[in-house]
A and B are shown apart, each in its own frame.
Chain A
């Protein structure tokens, strides 16, 4: 149980500047393991940047980012590789490798980091594609998919190694309401069944209510409010209340 005491992810006084602009300003956030946390806020408030810090794609100008208790900036290349294998990352624009088919995209992490046979990998990939509703698109190239389908393929790739931490940047953006609800159900199932820690950036309030045990509202590079959906509904900040009342577009 010791691993449950250590937060899955911790940001300690993290500051990030792009030029003269503070994108993250002395931001501190602790995310317990096996929880779903949704990051809310207007566009351009640093939510995606926060995710990129967690996986080590960006380094903070000040502060520390800890994953499962270890400072990501102090990790050796080998340690960073092991940590990244424990984090699934769905990018905002899916970022599928356009030289590989959808199936090969999903198989990519499995081929790189497991000793599974080709038959086992293909079987696992088919299961993952079925979960995101792309079972017919194993051989389709990413360029031939719609934006929403690319997103789902990206989610399947992020889940391939069954990581204990899943970071998803707007997983339901560009999806129809039914598919968006299915993706939400998939993420909730991952959390309940496998104990996956979810960190989800979303503008879709119904999604956030469904997935998030806690919601964090980010505004002007700082955390403006944090708590359960009910708590944020009753927030003293008008902006947070207004945001929570909106249905959200995706």
Chain B
């Protein structure tokens, strides 16, 4: 048990150094702009359908639950605002991050793991390319940029889903619904909650990259790296969210 704990701490420390290096290397040339754009497309744009569909479904379900609760008190008028607050503050960022830890985390873990076991990472180094900058830093930067954008997309499609659910029950116009939804939302709700997803993006990319580039054991190892990336990133996301919410409440007391 003690040995396992020590091994776990060693891995955590190793990842910490790896993640720290990804930050410092991000500010050193060359900046691999073309590869960052490619990763933004692969990790960000290709995730849009998943996030949009999930956001819409979450919006529908949340709206139905909110209606069931608020109708008891005759407060149906608060449904759009209640949904917007729930989505923007917590549900949107965390749901988007957990979904993306599955899609992006597994993808990065498997791709870099496969590159490791097929010597493609060695080939990059032998071609005089810094594999850490080319593979890891680019993915970390792309994820840090993509997560807030995808979270905003999830919030938006969630609101659309809420409206779709609401319009099935009432005949509220779209504009009225969105006016009501945004009536209680301020920048202090939107900005910190969306900005924290940059940390989520950093966690997903750095954990998956770390596990990917350290893959051993052939194709079986690639599978393990992919699974571990999702599980580890998801746990860290949930833990980080607790800390980040506390920090947000400190700076923006509700």
Q: Using a CB–CB distance below 8 Å, which chain A residues touch chain B?
A: 52, 55-57, 77, 80-82, 84-85, 87, 89, 91-93, 95-98, 108-109, 112-113, 157
Tell which of B115-123, B211-219, B232-240 binds the partner: B115-123
Does B128 reach chain A (CB closer than 8 Å)?
A: yes
Instruction: Output the residue of B114, B119, B130 with the most chain A CB within 10 A.
Output: B119
Q: Is the CB of A52 within 8 A of B130?
A: no
Q: Is the CB of B128 within 8 A of A81?
A: yes
Does B254 reach chain A (CB closer than 8 Å)?
A: no
Number of B positions contacting A (CB below 8 A): 13
Q: A84-B126, A91-B123, A92-B119 are in contact. List 6 more A-B contacts (CB 8 A).
A: A52-B122, A89-B126, A91-B122, A97-B124, A98-B118, A112-B129
Does B125 reach chain A (CB closer than 8 Å)?
A: yes
A109: B residues at CB distance < 8 A: 127-128
B126: A residues at CB distance < 8 A: 55, 57, 84, 87, 89, 91
Closest beta carbon of chain B to A197's beta carbon, Å: 16
B130: A residues at CB distance < 8 A: 77, 81
Closest beta carbon of chain A to B134's beta carbon, Å: 9
A77: B residues at CB distance < 8 A: 130
B114: A residues at CB distance < 8 A: 98
Chain A's closest residue to B123 (CB) is A95
Give bound CA distance, A89 to B123, whole Å.
Answer: 8
Q: Is the CB of B122 within 8 A of A95?
A: yes
A84: B residues at CB distance < 8 A: 125-128
* Contact mask for chain B residues 103-142; partner A; CB cutoff 8 A; 1 contact, 0 none: 0000000000010001110111111111000000000000
Chain B's closest residue to A86 (CB) is B128
Give bound CA distance, A85 to B125, whole Å.
Answer: 10
B124: A residues at CB distance < 8 A: 97
B128: A residues at CB distance < 8 A: 80-82, 84-85, 109, 112-113
Chain A's closest residue to B119 (CB) is A95
* Contact mask for chain B residues 74-101; partner A; CB cutoff 8 A; 1 contact, 0 none: 0000000000000000000000000000
Q: Is the CB of B120 within 8 A of A98?
A: yes
B120: A residues at CB distance < 8 A: 95-98
B122: A residues at CB distance < 8 A: 52, 57, 91, 95
Chain A's closest residue to B38 (CB) is A99
Give bound CA distance, A138 to B126, whole Å.
Answer: 22
B127: A residues at CB distance < 8 A: 84, 89, 108-109, 112, 157
Q: Is the CB of A95 within 8 A of B118?
A: yes
Chain B's closest residue to A83 (CB) is B128
B123: A residues at CB distance < 8 A: 89, 91, 95-97
Give bound CA distance, A96 to B120, whole Å.
Answer: 6
A97: B residues at CB distance < 8 A: 120, 123-124
Chain A's closest residue to B124 (CB) is A97
Give bound CA distance, A249 to B136, whole Å.
Answer: 39
Give bound CA distance, A109 to B130, whole Å.
Answer: 12
A113: B residues at CB distance < 8 A: 128
Closest beta carbon of chain B to A20's beta carbon, Å: 18
Closest beta carbon of chain B to A116's beta carbon, Å: 16
Give bound CA distance, A85 to B128, whole Å.
Answer: 6
Give bound CA distance, A95 to B122, whole Å.
Answer: 8
Give bound CA distance, A95 to B118, whole Å.
Answer: 6
Closest beta carbon of chain B to A103's beta carbon, Å: 16
